[in-house]
Amino acid sequence: MKKQPLFNKINREVLKKDLHNETFQRVTISFYKYFEIQSPALDATRLMFKELESDKRTSKIDLGIGIYRDEKGEAPVFKAVKKAETLLLQTEVSKSYKTPAGNSEYCKNILKLVLGKDILNERNNRIGAIQIPGAGSGLRIAGELIKSKLKNKLISIPNPTWGQQTFMFQKSGLKITNHSYYDSTNNFLNFEDMICDLKKLKSGDALLLHGCCHNPTGADLNADQWEEVAKICKKNGIVPFIDLVYQGLGRGIDEDVLGIRKLVKIVPEIIITISSSKTFGVYRDRCGLIAVITDSNKVKSDFLETMLSEIARELYFHPPDHAAEIINILLDNDILKNEWLLEISRMQKRIVSLREKFSKSLQNKLQTDYFSFLNVQNGMFSLLPISEVGIKTLRTKNGIYLMPDGRINIASLPENRIDFIASKICNKFNIFN
Read off the pLDDT of residues 312-346 as tens digits, 9 standing for 90 and up: 999 888 999 999 999 999 999 999 999 999 999 99
Beta strands per DSSP E along 23-174: 61-62, 127-132, 154-159
**Does residue 51 sit in the same domain as residue 88?**
no
Closest CA to 406 of 419, 420, 423, 425: 425
Classify residue 35: in a domain, yes or no. no
pLDDT score of 19: 53
pLDDT (average), residues 243-263:
97
Instruction: Give residue 5's pLDDT band: very low, low, confident or very high (50, 70, 90).
Output: very low
pLDDT (average), residues 53-77:
92
**Does residue 324 sit in the same domain as residue 210?**
yes
Mean pLDDT of the chain: 89
Give 160 or 29, the one with higher predicted confidence: 160
Instruction: Give residue 54's pLDDT band: very low, low, confident or very high (50, 70, 90).
Output: very high
DSSP state of 174: -
Closest CA to 425 of 388, 400, 403, 405: 400
| Domain edge (last residue) among 335, 370, 393 | 335
**Does residue 187 sit in the same domain as residue 331?**
yes
Cα(337)–Cα(360) distance, integer angstroms: 35
Classify residue 15: in a domain, yes or no. no
How many whole angstroms from its chain centre is CA 230? 22
Give every CB contact of residue 98 below 8 A, 6+ residues apart in sequence: 131, 318, 319, 321
**Does residue 242 sit in the same domain as residue 178?**
yes
The vertex-156 CA angle with 152 and 159, nearest 5°, equals 160
Read off the pLDDT of residues 418-429 as tens digits, 9 standing for 90 and up: 999 999 988 754
Residue 319 buriedness (CB in 10 A; 0-12 / 13-18 / 19+)? buried
pLDDT (average), residues 44-73:
90
**Does residue 321 sit in the same domain as residue 252?**
yes
Element (H, E) at 149: helix 135-149
**Does residue 270 sit in the same domain as residue 151?**
yes
pLDDT higher than threshold 80 for residue 9 = no
Closest CA to 285 of 300, 275, 298: 275
Classify residue 19: in a domain, yes or no. no
pTM for this predicted structure: 0.87
Cα(283)–Cα(134) distance, integer angstroms: 8
Classify residue 255: in a domain, yes or no. yes
Phi, psi of 114 (to 5 degrees): -85, -50
Instruction: Give residue 8's pLDDT band: very low, low, confident or very high (50, 70, 90).
Output: very low
Give every CB contact of residue 280 below 8 A, 6+ residues apart in sequence: 78, 81, 287, 323, 326, 327, 330, 340
Structural domain count, the chain:
2
| Domain edge (last residue) among 335, 369, 398 | 335
Give 234 or 37, the one with higher predicted confidence: 234
pLDDT higher than threshold 90 for residue 68 = yes
Enclosing domain of residue 176: 80-335
CB 78 within 8 A of CB 343: yes
pLDDT (average), residues 355-376:
92
Closest CA to 295 of 274, 273, 270, 272: 270
pLDDT higher than threshold 70 for residue 367 = yes
pLDDT higher than threshold 50 for residue 163 = yes
Classify residue 356: in a domain, yes or no. yes
pLDDT (average), residues 59-86:
94
**Does residue 402 sit in the same domain as residue 315?**
no
Closest CA to 129 of 169, 102, 97, 168: 102
**Does residue 60 sit in the same domain as residue 168?**
no
Cα(216)–Cα(411) distance, integer angstroms: 13
Classify residue 301: in a domain, yes or no. yes
CB 179 within 8 A of CB 158: yes
Classify residue 6: in a domain, yes or no. no
State the CATH number of the domain containing residue 411: 3.90.1150.10
pLDDT score of 27: 56
pLDDT score of 46: 83
**Does residue 121 sit in the same domain as residue 208?**
yes
pLDDT score of 185: 86
Classify residue 29: in a domain, yes or no. no
Read off the pLDDT of residues 110-135 as tens digits, 9 standing for 90 and up: 999 999 999 988 887 889 999 999 88
**Does residue 182 sit in the same domain as residue 214?**
yes
Beta strands per DSSP E along 79-171: 127-132, 154-159
**Does residue 66 sit in the same domain as residue 171?**
no
**Does residue 66 sit in the same domain as residue 197?**
no
| Domain edge (last residue) among 335, 366, 384 | 335
In sequence order, the β-bridge partners of residue 240 are 207
Q: Among all residues, which ones are annotated catalytic?
A: 162, 243, 278
